[in-house]
Structure 1
Amino acid sequence: MKITATRAGALALALLGLAGCAGQASRQLPVPEESRVHDSRSFRMPEAGLAFPALASSSIETDRWSGVLGGAGYRIEVPKNWNGMLVMYTHGYVGTGQDLRVTNPEVRRHLVENGYAWAASSYSKNYYDVRAGVEDTNALALAFTKIAAEKGRTLAEPKKIYIMGRSMGGHIAAAAVEQETLRTAINKVRYSGAVPVCGVLGDTELFNYFAAYQTAAQHFAGMPATTFPTPDFEKLRPALVSALWTSYPATTTPQGDKLKAAVMHLTGGPRPIFEEGFRIKVLQDILWNGFGADGTINGILNRNNLDTTRIVYQLDSDPAISAEEAAFNRDVFRIKGTPDANRQRSDGLRWIPAVNGQFDVPVVTLHTLGDMYVPFRMEQLYNERARANGSDKWLVQRAIRAPSHCDFSVAEQVAAFQAMADWEQRGVKPSGDDVMTQSVVADPNYGCTYTINTPGPDDLPALATVRPTLPACTKK
């Protein structure tokens, strides 16, 4: 059986309202080492938004349950012909509001029509709280059969549990199968496989990328940073944009061209669909709205974790450092993080759980090539870490030719999930893309193999609008 709870985990479940069985463990939860701003925040789960209807145009009969567990909302769906396997779905970042929300998986139709049960948590906290995401998702997995019994259906423990998530949820899904998580989580679940899509697979390196973009923009605009954090960044922003774009974000000035080149390398190097992604206003706005931060990730940490001292900027396609690049790397303002701002802890997971690349179950990832928000570089960092730890034999990565953040077709996600499931259940490793070789990634046809542009019944209308405007593949 793939699901276990430690004695400490058992008490955690009891304190979360899962107790009720005689003989439940009575040990105390770990004492928090310190408090932080985030710990004082309160959130609410509007129960009116938890119920969800049956799938449209589906003949599959399912039981659908919703409720609140440990302050987090949940949804569960189990087909009448359940195959004994459970998929935990982890949603992405939903902001800093007080209201929590649960999201159904995009691959829901595929799951229930193939006999899989799925469950999704709202998590008990918003903000970039991956720690809560892992713990609350695991707590829901551990409570699955108990909830089913309370709802009137007796189920055996799942024989397999998988995890799939997008964006911040991709971070959660990747962290959930890490050896460090298995050692330090309060609620322990041994997943059989994972599918992180558009995931933050470099964990805190994502925020270093934001900081590197900001300081590069200030430098090229002739308004270099001199202190950290940048005071009143929003007041400076209009002048920066004017210096770097003649028409934001479509047309850059000569100095903006240099910034764009630097950002191309920060996000994964020369590749198809980068230009299209760079020109998406909503993504640039999201990035720029986050510039000027203090490095605590909105109070998730107590100290600055941003560090750009190890970043090597490049401004052209030659990996050798030119004289101009050497001068830029010497002169650009560097942010130095506080040591151990996101250290390992004795009271559970790190505040931002690590993705070290130490895992021993099948993992299949997806990433869009044009994503400026959670860039393709995350895949390269994950690959580097997995290879350094000998976990690359368990990793398959696929590139998708789309310009925005997480704008996959449902079919692309279904193919990734099914590739992982077939690998785990039948032992045949699926194919994937080389994300590391610069000449391969830069090829005009890169990403063609696993891109599926044909819309399905569950795709958003934008898929049929955007995909035909992108550079076509000349081979597949």
Structure 2
Amino acid sequence: MTRCVRAVAALSLLAAASSGAQETRAEPTPCPDGIPATTQCSLGKDSAGAFYWIAMPSPWNKQLVVHAHGGPDLGAPDAKGSADDLTRWNIWTRMGSAVVASTYHQGGVAVRSAAEDVERSRQRFIAQFGVPERTILHGQSWGAGVAARTAELFGARDAQGHVPYDAVLLTSGVLGGASLSYDFRMDLRVVYQAVCGDHPRADEPQYPLWQGLPVGSKLTRAQLADRVDACTGVRKPAAARSPEQAQKLATILAAVKVPERTLIAHLNWGTWHFQDIMTKRTNGANPFTTVGVAYAGGAALNEKIARYAADAVAVATLAADADPTGRIPVPVLTMHAIDDPTAFVELESTFRVTMERAGRGKALVQLFTQDSEHSYTSDAQYVSAMRALLAWVERGTIPTPTSVAASCATVDPMYDPAKGCRFVPSYTPAPLSSRVPSRTKPGMPK
């Protein structure tokens, strides 16, 4: 199915649904690209206004994967977004599992709201197809934090002893919550401004950088990218950068340990996502701090750094919405690329501490792969992780990194184990503080 046809299908559904929160049943819709030809897809709209896709393979193995997508997107819900998720994660339908994926009914950094949307998508699947034998909750990237909150909020056993989710799979997860996961982007904003001085420029309205961007600003992502490139030459080959550009880029990357290739992306998130947080989540108050943070680069750099103190209410508000508690009542398997350029692998050490503090450390197994991608690693690795998780649920066989690595080489040839098995069983991530300077915020543990 082409992207154009997918867009037409989504628009047709939207036109058919009345305004407001009226729910529409999932209706048959051509499947997105990459889905097995025997799969039946449908598209609906839930009571809150989120679109949801259902992909039902034939034959069906009676397992359901409830998918929580990454992002977050800042605009209104768009059915195309979850269609793309089905394409990227077609590994689940190729394994014979049904998939339901919500768009979330609102954009922005709103984790609990997204978790509610995810749970509604599971309920909509059941209303249409009945209760599956197994339900796995899968969260990717920012969606891993959404999935963790979904399992915490809605994962309890019912009166009959049944659990809505049998297990949780978190891949490439942003698992430090808003309290810890976003600090390095605040660091990037202040360091970049100290070095380049063009976001904002001197002739533009000035604002505290934790605001991300003033309301009404016309700055575009393309314009910001041009500014970054003019200052650092980051989009040019290293040999084509001026000595001044090379020095500025080196200073920024030494102080804020982001990969060169994702510098602009992280600055984007520290601009428009911060604007969303300030205007829509914290009532205009600041949840970030740079007070007391010593940045690599010496006194000359640190003297130029803008220092901001966090507001206690803003910190608490963001934490209550987005921070995982670790109180997940079912097995949890995480998988993370060691050189993930977007969600740092050190976030996994933070998540382990979170689970252990909640008394759920034994319910967590973490896998690491020698990859440098964020969005997708390999079919064979995801198949191996899913099979290990199902064996844990069905037979009580707790996987280990070594056992999953060994099993990866034996997966079906269609998943290309020869090229796709890069598990590193011996790897243990360093603490997040080894990459992002620790800081004290009001109301947060020291």
2:388 corresponds in structure 1 to: 419
1:168 corresponds in structure 2 to: 142
Report matched runs for 1:373-412 at 5 Å: 373-412=342-381
Do 1:181 and 1:353's aligned partners in 2 also have CA atoms closer than 8 Å?
A: no
Do 1:47 and 1:73's aligned partners in 2 also have CA atoms closer than 8 Å?
A: no
Measured at CA, do residues 325 and 181 of structure 1 come closer, stay the same or move farther in structure 2, by a change above 3 Å?
farther
Identity %: 22
1:65 correspondence with 2:42: yes
1:358 corresponds in structure 2 to: 327
Q: How many equivalent residue pairs?
A: 371
2:289 is aligned with what amino acid? T
| 1:88 maps to which of 54, 57, 66 | 66
Structure with greater proportional helix content: 2
1:76 correspondence with 2:31: no
Per the TM alignment, residue 163 of structure 1 is displaced from its structure 2 partner at its CA by 0.6
1:120 corresponds in structure 2 to: 101
> Which secondary structure does the structure 2 equivalent of 1:52 belong to?
coil
Measured at CA, do residues 227 and 449 of structure 1 come closer, stay the same or move farther in structure 2, by a change above 3 Å?
farther
Per the TM alignment, residue 135 of structure 1 is displaced from its structure 2 partner at its CA by 1.0
Measured at CA, do residues 50 and 196 of structure 1 come closer, stay the same or move farther in structure 2, by a change above 3 Å?
farther
1:297 correspondence with 2:277: yes
The separation in 1 between residues aligned to 2:20 and 2:345, in whole angstroms, is 34
1:134 is aligned with what amino acid? A
Q: What is the root-mean-square deviation in Å for CA atoms of aligned residues?
A: 4.7
The separation in 1 between residues aligned to 2:61 and 2:383, in whole angstroms, is 17
> Which secondary structure does the structure 1 equivalent of 2:313 belong to?
coil
Do 1:86 and 1:118's aligned partners in 2 also have CA atoms closer than 8 Å?
A: yes
| 1:262 maps to which of 255, 262, 273 | 255
Do 1:420 and 1:430's aligned partners in 2 also have CA atoms closer than 8 Å?
A: yes
Per the TM alignment, residue 201 of structure 1 is displaced from its structure 2 partner at its CA by 1.0
Measured at CA, do residues 382 and 221 of structure 1 come closer, stay the same or move farther in structure 2, by a change above 3 Å?
same
| 1:372 maps to which of 323, 341, 348 | 341
What are the ranges of 5 or more consecutive residues in structure 2 without an aligned counterpart? Answer: 1-18, 157-161, 201-205, 428-446
Query: What per-residue deviation string (whole Å, max 9, x for no partner) do you get for residues 348-393 of structure 1?
Result: x95x332123323221222233433333232232123223333222
Query: What per-residue deviation string (whole Å, max 9, x for no partner) do you get for residues 328-350 of structure 1?
Result: 668743332322326469xxx95
Query: What per-residue deviation string (whole Å, max 9, x for no partner) do you get for residues 16-64 of structure 1?
Result: xxxxxxxxxxxxxxxxxxxxxxxxx9899999998233987958x5554
Report matched runs for 1:57-206 at 5 Å: 62-70=39-47, 71-79=49-57, 81-93=59-71, 95-101=73-79, 102-103=82-83, 104-105=85-86, 110-112=91-93, 114-148=95-129, 155=130, 157-178=131-152, 190-204=164-178, 205-206=180-181
2:6 corresponds in structure 1 to: none
Measured at CA, do residues 62 and 229 of structure 1 come closer, stay the same or move farther in structure 2, by a change above 3 Å?
closer
> Which secondary structure does the structure 1 equivalent of 2:400 belong to?
coil
2:444 corresponds in structure 1 to: none
Per the TM alignment, residue 311 of structure 1 is displaced from its structure 2 partner at its CA by 7.9
The separation in 2 between residues aligned to 1:314 and 1:424, in whole angstroms, is 45
> Which secondary structure does the structure 1 equivalent of 2:335 belong to?
strand
Do 2:72 and 2:142's aligned partners in 1 also have CA atoms closer than 8 Å?
A: no
Do 1:362 and 1:424's aligned partners in 2 also have CA atoms closer than 8 Å?
A: yes
What are the ranges of 5 or more consecutive residues in structure 1 without an aligned counterpart? Answer: 1-40, 149-154, 268-277, 316-323, 434-447
Measured at CA, do residues 261 and 421 of structure 1 come closer, stay the same or move farther in structure 2, by a change above 3 Å?
farther
1:339 is aligned with what amino acid? A
2:188 is aligned with what amino acid? Y
The separation in 1 between residues aligned to 2:233 and 2:168, in whole angstroms, is 40
Per the TM alignment, residue 90 of structure 1 is displaced from its structure 2 partner at its CA by 1.7
The separation in 1 between residues aligned to 2:237 and 2:271, in whole angstroms, is 19
